[in-house]
Amino acid sequence: MALTEEQLRCRDIILSQEYADFIVEYGGNIDVMVNTYNPSCYEVINSSYVVIHKPLPEDGQLNPDEYGYNMIPTVMGLMDTTSMEESGILPVHYSPASGYRGSGVLVSIIDTGIDYTHPAFRFSNGSTRMLSIWDQTIQSDNVPENFPYGTLYTSDDIDRALFSEEPMELIPTRDEEGHGTFMAGIIAGSEDTANSFVGAAPEASIIAVKLKPAKDYLREYYVLKEGSVAFQETDIFMAVQFSLKQAAKYRMPLVICLGIGNSLDSHEGTSSLSQYLNWINNLTGICITVAAGNELGRAHHFSGFIPGKDDSQNVELRVGENERGFQMEIWGSLADVFSVEIVSPEGERIARSQSRLGVSQRVRLLFEDTEIYLADKSVGLTSGQFLMVLQFRNPTPGIWSLRVYGDRISNGRFDIWLPMEKFIEEDTYFLSPDPDITVSSVATTNSLIVAANYNHYNNSLYIHSSRGYTASGFIKPDIAAPGVDVFGPLPGGRYGQMTGSSVSAAHAAGAAALLLEWGLLHVIIINMDGNDIRRLLIQGAIQKSGETYPNKGWGYGAMNLKNTFETLRVLR
């Protein structure tokens, strides 16, 4: 179906590097939103959120002073079968009493795409197990309904390609990174006895969304490391909404797996995306799993305490030789106000200035090629917290000193986060870091199933598996799942190994699909939602003797689906 003139105009704006994208919490009144923001184009997500697009200034740079913190999309990066046995999934496949394999459940992988030609996503007769692929990076008239960009490929389209001599000529979508293909395989890959592989839910139906790369202005705004893979929050919003519409179309329960995340934001589940996902996860028949992250040992979190007004604490930050820049954020409680004094490695000083709501300053050092932007971004935060954003461009390598002062103190605690390891040079870090509260920001969302990463070969936590809890003390991660040297499918019909908490989230997503098949499709729990599944996985988690649970590394323990079902028999 050909796009209308208005849809074509909107698509061009969405893809254009000359337009900025924003997330607006609009309260359901579109007319008021349009009159307030005058967008060039917009897409309604639901009755709470809308994505709008506005022209960038002539210099192509976003002016952050014009927009609230939550309006500017965050950028997210990748969180990169004995594992099925260890997770208690294989026994559930083959149990005479259950035999659950994900039949009738839809799983959605929102990631780098998928190799749809891989045997892991095909039936034994060669036809596809995929219901659809939405590739946001390929533009055509064949867009999903109510989504004005990308290309939709249906199962019929995919089968036509698979049974042709040159599948890629008909459907040119590819997974250049291999991350999405691997994730999809762990969740729902078909059994391949020759390669000793099977996914957690090998009879589930699959949809995949290939996210388009983050726009250049956002990469520059956040000063991301060159070459890093990054996606923007607005496209993730749209991908989640697409997944919901596909589940409604096929009348199937849905599991969404997010193997992406970031390290900025409040770490209290207060971002627009976190609140949207939290709402979805409470809907009947929907479950969302996310990766805890791979930030332990990266030294990207600092926590401090200031007892009273005008007291201070020094924070030392090492900046690496090749660091082009980064954004860091200072968060505090709603009753506290902080200010900072900054001293460069060469001794240049940015004097302490009293923090004022909505006030910013941009400083270029006199004898160094460093520019620093400081802004109090507390205005407009739904949580009411204190937030100061600091952006460093061309920072001088060496040890920087940030002295944090208390301007008004009630609680006194503050936290500072640097970007995730894929967005920053590895030799940029705090000298006295706090290893806790390093879970990905989206992983601090209360109701989502958050999976930490453990090595199922020796039953130990992965060295970089992010630790909880949330900044407000809510218990995350929920469980740990295998994520070290896990065997799974790679593009080109190959198999290989991958490590990361995204792999752990994929195991949890597969387990969730089996629980949805058991609970919802077999009418055991008629209104089963993501919270129910989270609780069941927690109840079945295996806990080591001598350990105290829950804890900040393992959550409530190692996921074991077989034990979950055994626990259910006892409870019933």
Q: Could you list the active site residues?
A: 111, 179, 502
Q: Is the peptide bond before 550 cis (omega within 30 degrees of 0)?
A: yes
Q: Which residues contact 448 (CB under 8 A, 6 or more apart)?
A: 277, 278, 281, 288, 289, 290, 442, 530, 534
DSSP-derived pairing of the beta strands 371-376 and 386-393: antiparallel
DSSP-derived pairing of the beta strands 449-455 and 413-417: unpaired
For residue 132, CA distances in Å to 170, 280, 489, 516 come to 15, 21, 19, 21
Q: Which of 134, 112, 432 is nearest to 304 (CA)?
A: 432
CA distance 558 to 88: 10
Which tokens sit at 301? 């979190």
Q: Residue 112: how many CA atoms within 13 Å on its side-chain side?
A: 23
For residue 420, CA distances in Å to 171, 176, 222, 297, 322 come to 34, 22, 12, 12, 16
Which amino acid is it at 185? Answer: G
DSSP line for 8-24: HHHHHHHH-TTEEEEEE
CA distance 239 to 396: 39
The CB density around residue 71, as the number of other CB atoms within 10 Å, is 18
Q: Which of 434, 436, 502 is nearest to 469 (CA)?
A: 436
